[in-house]
Amino acid sequence: MAPLTNLQTRAVETLIHPYTNQVTLRETGPLVIERGEGVFIYDTDGKAYIEGMAGLWCTALGYNNEELVQAAAAQMRKLPFAHLFTAKSHDPAIELAEKLKEIAPVPISKVFFCNSGSEANDSQMKLVWYMNNALGRPDKKKIISRQKAYHGVTIASASLTGLPNNHIDFDLPIARVLHTSCPHHYRFAHEGESEEDFATRLAADLEELILREGPDTVAAFIAEPVMGAGGVIVPPNTYFPKIMAVCAKYDIYMISDEVICGFGRLGTPFGCTALGYKPHSLTVAKALSSAYLPIAGLMIPDEMYQALIIESKKIGTFGHGFTYSGHPVAAAVAIKTLEIYKRDRIFETAAARMPLFQKRLKELGEHPLVGEARGMGLVGALELAADKRKKQPFDGKKGVGAQAVRHAEAEGLIVRVIGGDIISICPPMIIALAEINELFDRLGRALDKTLDWAKREQLLAA
């Protein structure tokens, strides 16, 4: 193993790297990225990689977009900081909120800005509780999420997240957070169960949970249109209509977490439209600014805003907010991002490239290592399996997915292993057809090398 470079050593000695094994990091060091251009990033040795994860599902317009750089610079010179506390405001936040209301898939009254999807979903939870107190429903407070969901890492949002590693030894989830079934047909359907019957059963599971807890105690249901970090799980076609019927029956407020699926990732401005449901509120982040600066938001209905009015009359203020809520530089970059999406028809162009992306993804489903290839729009995943026919996963301790990621990096491709041995792919939405083909060519070679390694290690089922 090569000794660590100076930058790698400094990184190991100064930083806590999220979602990283802190022991092995000290041995291998991090991959240090120096610059980016389009869909490519470059390490400190000048090696180019296709950024097959758009950073963290977020750099929709790719790297080094000069218009976004200039938008930030211009706003930095004009008004580098202003807050929204105590009846203060500024034009960038106002304009961005107006633009979000214009493109919202459901009627939206107001937008609350924060800095990350985690903060936004944390705030969703607080505002649901706040609303029900205002409406005289102090017991209607429980929030239902789903197993394998990902909604963030603050104490509240990590509780909503349905992944074990986000809970173990963090003493999570907190009270009032519940989890219902995951809509992954490949992994959780009964033998011979159709997708329609599977969706019906999951809606029944949700209703049973609500009845068991008591409908008067259950406030909200939160869901990603396509589940991201939990494994890029695409639900059956009728899943959300059935789930929404249950929510309506028991007066359950529905939150669509659009942090990954929003802004064209599934071929529509918002993922809920692609999946056929209308939520009460939405959470947005990531591609809102193409990740050039941190910004996120809650898009809430008038019912919730009226609750804020009621509580302000009672308490004298609305006691929630962040120093950087609606930061003017981040808001200016987000405004320019939305402008580019519309002017350059980014959503429509990405939608035209989605068939090739999904075709190449599904072709890798035939690879001996792949149990299931799944995806929608410009996002996908390959779930690796020791036995394709029996859907038998690898022993997680063997690190087969991590090995595939390392081989991909050697091929000049950044992908990510999530939820065990699941390889996720989510390139910038500006990716060209030739770059899609090159991405999957590189990934195919990485899988071939991983297969050879797995055979040598005798990891495949006999």
pLDDT in tens, 280-339: 999 999 999 999 999 999 999 999 999 999 999 999 999 999 999 999 999 999 999 999
Give percent above pLDDT 70 in the chain: 100
For residue range 155-199, list pLDDT tens digits in order.
Answer: 999 999 999 999 999 999 999 999 999 999 999 999 999 999 999
Task: Give the pLDDT of residue 277.
Answer: 98
For residue range 208-262, list pLDDT tens digits in order.
Answer: 999 999 999 999 999 999 999 999 999 999 999 999 999 999 999 999 999 999 9
Task: Give the pLDDT of residue 43.
Answer: 97
pLDDT (average), residues 350-358: 98
Q: What is the rounded end-to-end Cα distance, in angstroms, of the chain? A: 32
Q: Residue 84 is encoded by which pair of tokens?
A: 């929204």
Burial status of residue 457 (CB atoms within 10 A of its CB: 0-12, 13-18, 19 or more): exposed
For residue range 250-279, list pLDDT tens digits in order.
Answer: 999 999 999 999 999 999 999 999 999 999
Higher pLDDT, 423 or 397: 423
Task: Give the pLDDT of residue 23.
Answer: 94
Q: Is 55 left (phi over 0), alpha (psi -120 to 50) or beta?
A: left
Indicate the pLDDT class of residue 359, thresholds 50, 70 and 90: very high
CA–CA dist 286, 296 (Å, integer): 7
- 308 — phi, psi (to 5°)? -65, -35
CA–CA dist 305, 360 (Å, integer): 45
Task: Give the pLDDT of residue 229.
Answer: 97
Q: Residue 201 is encoded by which pair of tokens?
A: 């059963």
pLDDT, mean over the chain: 97
- Sort strands 281-284 and 218-223 into parallel, antiparallel or unpaired: unpaired
CA–CA dist 417, 382 (Å, integer): 9
CA–CA dist 243, 256 (Å, integer): 12
Residue type, 442: R
Indicate the pLDDT class of residue 420, thresholds 50, 70 and 90: confident
For residue range 31-58, list pLDDT tens digits in order.
Answer: 999 999 999 999 999 999 999 999 999 9
CA–CA dist 296, 339 (Å, integer): 17
Please answer whether residues 267 and 281 qualify as being in contact, where contact means their C-beta atoms are separated by less than 8 angstroms.
no
Q: Residue 412 is encoded by which pair of tokens?
A: 């000049």
Q: Residue 98 is encoded by which pair of tokens?
A: 């107006």
Please say if the pLDDT value at position 419 is more than 90.
no
pLDDT (average), residues 380-407: 95
CA–CA dist 353, 363 (Å, integer): 16
Indicate the pLDDT class of residue 429, thresholds 50, 70 and 90: very high
Task: Give the pLDDT of residue 2.
Answer: 83
- Sort strands 253-257 and 281-284 into parallel, antiparallel or unpaired: parallel
Task: Give the pLDDT of residue 461.
Answer: 85
Task: Give the pLDDT of residue 86.
Answer: 97
Task: Give the pLDDT of residue 404.
Answer: 97
pLDDT (average), residues 59-85: 98
- pTM here is 0.96
Please say if the pLDDT value at position 1 is more than 80.
no
Using H for helix, E for strand and C for coil, what is the string for the chain?
Answer: CCCCCHHHHHHHHHCCCCCCCHHHHHHHCCCCEEEEEECEEEECCCCEEEECCHHHHCCCCCECCHHHHHHHHHHHHHCCCCCCCCCCCCHHHHHHHHHHHHHCCCCCCEEEEECCHHHHHHHHHHHHHHHHHHCCCCCCCEEEEECCCCCCCCHHHHHHCCCHHHCCCCCCCCCCEEEECCCCHHHHCCCCCCHHHHHHHHHHHHHHHHHHHCHHHEEEEEECCCECCCCCECCCCCHHHHHHHHHHHCCCEEEEECCCCCCCCCCCCCHHHHHCCCCCEEEECHHHCCCCCCCEEEEECHHHHHHHHHHHHHHCCCCCCCCCCCCHHHHHHHHHHHHHHHHCCHHHHHHHHHHHHHHHHHHHCCCCCEEEEEEECCEEEEEECCECCCCECCCHHHCHHHHHHHHHHHCCEECEEECCCEEEECCCCCCCHHHHHHHHHHHHHHHHHHHHHHHHCCCCCC
Task: Give the pLDDT of residue 340.
Answer: 98
Please answer whether residues 374 and 232 qualify as being in contact, where contact means their C-beta atoms are separated by less than 8 angstroms.
yes
| Structural domains for the chain | 31-64+345-456 (3.90.1150.10), 68-343 (3.40.640.10)
Task: Give the pLDDT of residue 251.
Answer: 98
CA–CA dist 77, 60 (Å, integer): 26
